[in-house]
Structure 1
Amino acid sequence: MSVQVTEGAPSDEARLAGLLAHSQELTALVGEVRSRIAGRWDGDQSLLARTCTHALTPAGKLFRPILLLESALAVGGDPRWVLPAAAGAESGHVASLVHDDIIDDDDIRRGRPAVHAAFGVGDAIVAGDALIFDLFAGLAECHAAGAPADRVVAALAVVSRCGIDLCRGQSLEAEFCASGRFDHDTYLHMVRLKTAALFRAACEGGALLGGGEPRHVLALGHYAQHLGVAFQIRDDLLPYTGSAGKPDTSDVRNGRLTLPVIIAHQAGSPADRAAIEAALSGTDDPATARADLLDVLHRTGAITATTRWARRYLRLALTALQPLPITASLERLRGYAKAAVDRNH
């Protein structure tokens, strides 16, 4: 069965909202997740609660919670049983953003001060840690919501492994960027760990909590793996083609070896490679370095080539879904993948 990828599809939150609008049930479930996130720290006036609330609200697209809910639905599970895990998935995702912003020294997140910029590095680290534990609290709460204990344990094991993979990927990224090796194989390995991990946690965890057959859990895990890679490749392009939700000089300032930069370095002339290395060296003004790098990316065709890579992994993600039964959730999972790759922020 061939998989078609439509060029020029609508992007951003409007696309996700459009997909959700076709299901009153799912719209209600996402609304419940949003309410749980917004009220998670209600009644607590502590500094930690204020810091976590700042990190969590206003909520973003809730992409990972939606993937978890849809994965449970796609295998025939009861979505009410997985609502706490869906809310927890957002806590885990936001925790990774809080820590990323500290590592990258990015002071803006979602158009407002990043947590460490608003509350200080120490309190931001603690808040990120608390949100990680909130992820696991959400999984545990699924048992009280009706999920059998063995399903909760299985989901806990998957999410734990994915969390460790995320940390391995973050560590590998630092090592990779410091090495100065413009190697796309190492890049892809890093992305499968760092970015795809939370996608796998959401999809596999949701499928396990929903009581999915092993082959369906495996299919959703493969879908999530490929989707995570496609998502990150698209994310690599945003500082040069759209709005990244954080400073567009962040990747240049941090000397990050993203896929378009790697492709341009491999395809460029000696002068192009020298320009790329100079832009990532941290010696120039970040805005000037970004402009210089953007010129090389266009000249070498790296932006177009990177887009092709993203669509290649999108096709792999869509193909991975083929073992699943035909349901509305399956169709929406396909739509989410396309929306993620077509987005402009």
Structure 2
Amino acid sequence: MKLVELTNYLESLAPLSSQESYDNSGLIVGDPQMELTGALVSLDCIESIVDEAIEKKCNLVIAHHPILFKGLKRLNGSDYVQRTILKAIKNDIALYAIHTNLDNFRFGVNAEIGKRIGLENIQVLAPKKDVLTKLVVFVPDEYVENVMSALFEAGAGSIGNYGECSFSTSGTGTFLPMEGSDPFIGQKGERENSLETKIEVLVSKHRLNAVVRAMKEVHPYEEVAYEAYPILNENNFEGAGMIGMLSEPMATKDFLKHLKSTFNCGIIRHTELVGDTVQRVAYCGGAGSFLLKNAISQEADIFITGDYKYHEFFDADKQIIIADIGHYESEQYTSNLLEGILMEKFPKFAVHLTGVNTNPINYF
């Protein structure tokens, strides 16, 4: 299997366009056309991970965190970033990162965290806006089913937990075939009146080009009349953080013990325990302090994340419990998530889960 086949599949789930502006997800080192011998999956990509890939005869490392966030002016091995990249290049090992695009994926990093906590009815905490497009296409009546099927198969028409959503209206279209045209119906120089159906569907921006291509392949007209324009609606399947419910309230201290055990935390830093029980849980893997207002506005009992700064803890303001379980700890199961995704899609491909703990933080 070529590297590009694997990365195309991952990016069909978590498109690169969904990553945050500061991020560097995607193929960082390697030839997209290289044949793969195996993949090593880890949270971070550092020298010891590349060493492990060499040992396990994997020529691809898939990490959640990119080894490279910004441009390098030289590669002389003077720091761990340069040494990691140089070692990968020397050993013909590709480095791929799937970071905030996987964070923003409905079934990505935060869905895995929610599963580990044991939450139900999980929803995106801060859905993204400006990521949807309304696609409108005009189709002769006898080709409506073909075009509609092509739209749905290419990924159009999803609204929340519902698929194949559309709206259709009937009308009459007119056109005048000019010199150089090859009309499907009608004659050159004569205005044609055609019974047509206007089909409207929602499409995620990252799927728009593929959906339009699929539509044009089955549409009978030489020149297809269609429109695409942005929609302001939130996409509830894409965004930062998540919120869900425990099946029943749990004593707050018991819940903190549950977190500590589940995520193998060396310590949990938390604000005042303002409630005796916890049931509504908001959370974000990694560094999620920017989502505290969302958690409070949605009446969460507790907000779980990592990398909280001293003064940010005051923002709880007795309205919610903030629990900082650690950046690594919150995202450690991302490797298991990616391993499962790849093994389900490519069951005959060698996927290895790292045995290296890359957490740079130790607890005394």
* Normalised TM-score (structure 2): 0.22
> In terms of Rg, which structure is larger?
2
More contact order relative to length (CA 8 Å, sep ≥ 6) = 1
Whichever structure has more helix as a proportion of its residues is 1
* Normalised TM-score (structure 1): 0.23
Whichever structure has more strand as a proportion of its residues is 2
